[in-house]
Structure 1
Amino acid sequence: MEETKNLKQLDHKTLTKSFHRWFWGALTCFSQEHMQTFGYMASMLPILKKLYPKHDDQVKAINAYTAFFNTNPMLGTVIVGITASMEQARANGQSIDGETINDMRAGLMGPIAGIGDSLIDGTLIPILLGISLGMSTGGSPLGAIFYIVSWILIAYFGQRFLYFRGYKFGDQAVSFLVGKQGAAIRRAIGIVGSMVVGGVLASWVNVTTALQLKGSNGKVFLNLQAKLDSIFPGILTVIVTLFCWWLMTKRHVSAIWTMLILVGISFVGVLVGFFNPGLTY
């Protein structure tokens, strides 16, 4: 009973302060050499001050967090929560040292980065942007407001949930993200994301041709766009979309180069009369 009373325990206020430092400062002093190292150290300072009253002990403990660290900032929150739990166990005399903590961080930052980049940057953000674009029809500011508010709420409360979940369950929280349940959730979100992006494509992308063939009497005998619409409406839009997909996924062309290629194709298309930008001079 006496040993239980003497155990060091992190309170909710300290954990919240640590989380806020990561949320606002994960990319503090970001550089190619250190990446998120300093942001991680800043988030651990409230934890170390609470667990180690002596300054020398704090300096010794923080050495475990000077190593290189970089992962997805949102899902990486769970690693910070797990670290707080491990640091608490170390302060209470369990067989955990700085090397063990650093090995955990190094082992998790790669898998979490892969999951986070595909789930957040590749799925969630396109979904939110797709919805926002639909709400911005006619120049309405509601789309921008929706995106800003929804992203802030999802980012804050999502990261807060992962931080405290990591602190409470330790490596079990990571098992959820990389296990069968996490894979099922990511697949479901990916399907929804594909539907939203497909809807945005149909609503916002419209590629048509102005090419017409005329006879000797000046009458049009072939309107290429009308003929294509009678066979497959929107086929040029589909072709351009698949072409961009092929460039970026199969040929590994960057988004910037893909846009430059489209600009070049458009320029040549206007010169030969295939496209009509509708400009008057």
Structure 2
Amino acid sequence: MEFNNDHQQKMAEKEAKRMQQALATSKVSTDTYIDQNQDVTLTKVDINRMALRSLALQASFNYERMQAGGWLYTILPALRKIHKNADDLKNAMHMHMEFINVHPFDVTFLSGLVLAMEEGKENISTIRSVKVALMGPLGGIGDALFWLTLLPICAGLGASLALDGSFLGPIIFLLMFNLVHFGLRFGLAHYGYHAGTNALPLLKTHTKRISHAASIVGMTVIGALVASYVHLSTPLEINAGKAHIALQADVLDKLMPNLLPLGFTLSVFYLMKRNFSPVKLIGLTVVIGILGKLVGCL
């Protein structure tokens, strides 16, 4: 998880340098908005609309600008309300179509903060710098909170109910996950907008702590899921004279319960780090299971 966060931060820093180099040839005609009136105030309806439109953040995902199209779509109604001057709106839209890559679930914090800056008619370069600076931290926090913590917990509870024969398993999973997901999506939108740039020092200070704490919880949950849902054992026996030793019960389980599931899980993780695709890993698991059963060792 730390590697993933550092990688995203390095990518964001490289993109910041690229943006600065490209600024000289940018089509944005000015760094300041022509109309400096700050008489427009976004309402709760505007912020909720922005949060709802953020669901389409990755609808036009591409490898040149990543989420830029969906990002502009998210904040465009608010930009139109803020910027009455046509040139100001054009410059804002052009800047917001630049490269951006942030976690799709906590993106509303950044969009709310950016809209507060747009409403205050901050310089375009300042708004750009804030976007670039927060892409990495928000990506790391989002991965730790949602993919490594919330998803395993909700999926584990839903799968447990489903394995007991309850049709409520997938329903409980979807309800739990999306209650938290949408609560944070809309809540962060309002928090980011009202906190404005005052939230930047707090976020930068606690980013690593939040990610580290969420990673610990998530890894604990994943460890419990491995022991509960990965089933692998061997019927092999060791014969030494008149003694018959069951390899699973008398050796492996004595060393550590669920040693085989743990070993298989770590092997899959190693192959994933070696860039094996999930499809290949699923196929390999099926082949190992079938061959192990036919040979009689699993």
State the TM-score, normalizing by the size of structure 2.
0.75
- The alignment status of 1:150 with 2:150, answered yes or no, reads no
Residues 30-68 of structure 1, C-alpha deviations (whole Å, 9 max, x = no match): 223332112111222222222223445433432221212
1:132 positional shift:
1.6
For residues 87-106 of structure 1, the aligned pairs below 5 Å read: 87-90=118-121, 96-106=122-132
AA partner of residue 137 (structure 1): L
Cα pair distance change 1:61/1:183, threshold 3 Å: closer
Give the percent of matched residue pairs that are identical in Structure 1 and Structure 2: 30
Q: 1:228, 1:235 within 8 Å by CA — same for their partners in 2? A: no
**Structure 2 partner of 1:93:** none
- The alignment status of 1:223 with 2:231, answered yes or no, reads no
Instruction: Identify which range, 237-246 or 133-142, moves more after superposition.
Output: 237-246
Can you give the 5+ residue segments of structure 1 that lack an aligned partner in the other structure? 91-95, 276-281
RMSD: 2.9
Q: 2:65, 2:99 within 8 Å by CA — same for their partners in 1? A: yes
Q: 2:144, 2:218 within 8 Å by CA — same for their partners in 1? A: no
Q: 2:234, 2:247 within 8 Å by CA — same for their partners in 1? A: yes
Q: 1:70, 1:109 within 8 Å by CA — same for their partners in 2? A: yes
Rounded Cα–Cα distance in structure 1 between residues aligned with 2:153 and 2:57: 24
Rounded Cα–Cα distance in structure 2 between residues aligned with 1:101 and 1:112: 16
**Structure 1 partner of 2:215:** 190
Aligned match for 2:53, one of 21, 30, 33: 21
Cα pair distance change 1:110/1:187, threshold 3 Å: closer
Aligned match for 1:138, one of 134, 149, 164: 164
- The alignment status of 1:77 with 2:108, answered yes or no, reads yes
Q: 2:78, 2:115 within 8 Å by CA — same for their partners in 1? A: yes
Aligned match for 2:75, one of 24, 36, 44: 44
Rounded Cα–Cα distance in structure 1 between residues aligned with 2:158 and 2:62: 32
Q: 2:103, 2:139 within 8 Å by CA — same for their partners in 1? A: yes
Cα pair distance change 1:211/1:144, threshold 3 Å: same
Rounded Cα–Cα distance in structure 1 between residues aligned with 2:88 and 2:216: 49
- The alignment status of 1:201 with 2:221, answered yes or no, reads no
For residues 49-64 of structure 1, the aligned pairs below 5 Å read: 49-64=80-95
Cα pair distance change 1:241/1:52, threshold 3 Å: closer
Rounded Cα–Cα distance in structure 1 between residues aligned with 2:81 and 2:269: 51
- Aligned residue pairs total 261
Aligned match for 1:119, one of 135, 145, 158: 145
> What secondary structure, in the 3-state scheme, does the structure 2 residue paired with 1:221 have?
strand
Rounded Cα–Cα distance in structure 1 between residues aligned with 2:249 and 2:127: 66
1:215 positional shift:
9.5
Greater radius of gyration (CA): 1
Cα pair distance change 1:103/1:229, threshold 3 Å: closer
Q: 2:58, 2:70 within 8 Å by CA — same for their partners in 1? A: yes
1:89 positional shift:
0.9
Q: 1:177, 1:183 within 8 Å by CA — same for their partners in 2? A: no
> What secondary structure, in the 3-state scheme, does the structure 2 residue paired with 1:208 have?
coil
> What secondary structure, in the 3-state scheme, does the structure 1 residue paired with 2:120 have?
helix
> What secondary structure, in the 3-state scheme, does the structure 2 residue paired with 1:48 have?
helix
1:86 positional shift:
0.8
**Structure 1 partner of 2:289:** 266
Greater RCO structure (CA 8 Å; 6+ sep): 2
Cα pair distance change 1:269/1:197, threshold 3 Å: same
1:88 positional shift:
0.6
1:125 positional shift:
1.2
Aligned match for 2:236, one of 211, 229, 250: 211
> What secondary structure, in the 3-state scheme, does the structure 1 residue paired with 2:244 have?
strand
Rounded Cα–Cα distance in structure 2 between residues aligned with 1:82 and 1:230: 54
Cα pair distance change 1:157/1:247, threshold 3 Å: same
Q: 1:8, 1:88 within 8 Å by CA — same for their partners in 2? A: yes
